[in-house]
Amino acid sequence: MATTPEPSSRTLAVSGQNLWLWRQEARRSAVEADIPVAEVDWLLQEVAGIDPLSLRLESFKARSHIELRYPLPVLTQLWQRRLCDRLPVQYLVGITPWRRFSLKVSPAVLIPRPETEYLIDLAVSATGQSATPQLDAGQWADLGTGSGAIALGLAEAFRSATIHAVDYSHDALAIAQLNAQQLGFESRIQFYQGSWLSPLASLKGQLSGIVSNPPYIPRDELQQLQPEVRDHEPLMALDGGIDGLDCIRHLIRTAPDYLRPGGVWIIEMMAGQGDTVAQLLHQQGRYCQIQILPDLAGIDRFALAYRQE
């Protein structure tokens, strides 16, 4: 498993000119390796604390010294891992932005994606549109919490709710808990190790909402994923079984017993799964107002339904 070196406790300084030269070389190698050059600047923001404008205008070049989290040769080694091992830059620096949060990530968790941010907006608008009272309060679940991103988003959006975050992976839960502590949400989110809803048996019939971004990649397609994903993100976060729908089918089948009447069920899915997911929700017979919703690019990526009253 890839690990990022611990930041040095020594003060490590380089001249702006030297760092500029390092950046030029890294940008050249990024182009050659077909990696977005913007990732070099992201790395420099994190390890050298240089703001995006100074990077864009290259004004940092005039500074006599810039403090780094790692010595320059270690930075070079890190960048080599990005180039040669295709290690995602988020794992290199150990953090990723998501909504307004800066989340700790490691190869134990999926790197939360920008499109997943929309699940929180869907949850907020679903509670606003519902006739069921106080859907934005009470108990909410984030199933397959990974880094804790969705649980944190829900905790921030629904100030009176308690969030129950479940993951099968102990290592993922450790990261999620750390994120909750660092962002000041530890009293609002409870964490459970186990499979989907099974650790929440005591909450049957009480959940105001269930939100999940489950694994949904068909098994045969895993090998065709980009190396950054295939070789570094956890298989347990990706593998959705033969047709990609194993976890979604399970969540459709089990969620009605856990939702309160009128409670909302929201998931992310893969492009092309919308028709089948809508059909499964209809067949289950206990959902209403079933909707398949697009992402910002207009591609169907989300499903939303309410438990019948």
Ligand X SMILES: C[S@@+](CC[C@H](N)C(=O)[O-])C[C@H]1O[C@@H](n2cnc3c(N)ncnc32)[C@H](O)[C@@H]1O
How many CB atoms neighbour CB 51 within 10 A? 10
Given the complex with ligand X, which of 74 and 156 has the nearer CB atom? 156
Least gap, CB of 224 to ligand X (angstroms): 17
Give me the residue label for tokens 């932005």: 97
Identify the DSSP state of 239: B
Q: Is 144 annotated as a binding residue?
A: yes
Applying CB under 6 A, does 110 fall inside the site for ligand X? yes
One residue of 50, 166, 175, 304 binding ligand X per CB under 6 A: 166
Beta bridge partners of residue 166, listed in sequence order = 143, 192
Residue 97 CB, shortest distance to ligand X, in Å, is 13
CA distance 201 to 93: 38
**228 belongs to the binding site for ligand X (CB under 6 A):** no
Nearer to ligand X, 35 or 149 (CB): 149
Residue 187: exposed, middle, or buried by beta-carbon count in 10 A (0-12, 13-18, 19+)?
Answer: exposed
E strand spans, the chain: 12-14, 66-68, 95-98, 101-104, 138-143, 161-167, 189-193, 207-212, 259-268, 287-294, 300-307
Per-residue binder mask for ligand X (CB under 6 A), 10-49, x = binder:
----------------------------------------
Q: Does residue 152 bind ligand X (CB under 6 A)?
A: no
CA–CA gap between residue 253 and residue 256 (Å, rounded): 7
Give Cβ neighbours of residue 1 (< 8 Å, ≥ 6 apart): 107, 108
Distance CA 282, CA 10 (A): 61
Q: Is 22 annotated as a binding residue?
A: no
**263 marked among binding-site residues:** no
The answer to the question of whether 196 is labelled as a binding residue is yes
| Residues paired with residue 22 on neighbouring β-strands, in sequence order | none
Pick the binder of ligand X from 4, 169, 179, 273 (CB under 6 A). Answer: 169
Among 172, 189, 207, 259, binds ligand X (CB under 6 A): 172
Measured from the CB atom, the residue of 69 and 186 that comes closer to ligand X is 186
Instruction: Tell me: does residue 150 bind ligand X (CB under 6 A).
Output: yes
Q: Cβ distance 70 to 7 under 8 Å?
A: yes
Give CA torsion, residues 152, 154, 157, 163, to 10 deg.
Answer: -90
**Is there binding between residue 106 and ligand X (CB under 6 A)?**
no
Residue 112 binds ligand X (CB under 6 A): yes
For residues 307 and 3, what is the distance between their CA atoms, to the nearest angstrom?
A: 43
213 binds ligand X (CB under 6 A): yes
Instruction: Tell me the per-residue interface mask from 114 to 143 with ligand X, x by CB under 6 A, - otherwise.
Output: --x---------------------------
C-beta of 112: minimal distance to ligand X in Å?
Answer: 4
Q: Does 195 bind ligand X (CB under 6 A)?
A: yes
User: Which residues, in sequence order, are bridge partners of residue 302?
Assistant: 268, 293
- The tokens for 210 are 């269930």
Q: Is 255 in the site for ligand X (CB under 6 A)?
A: no
Binding residues, as ranges, are: 144-148, 167, 196, 213-216
Note the residues at the interface with ligand X (CB under 6 A).
110, 112, 116, 144-147, 149-150, 166-169, 172, 195-196, 213-215, 236-237
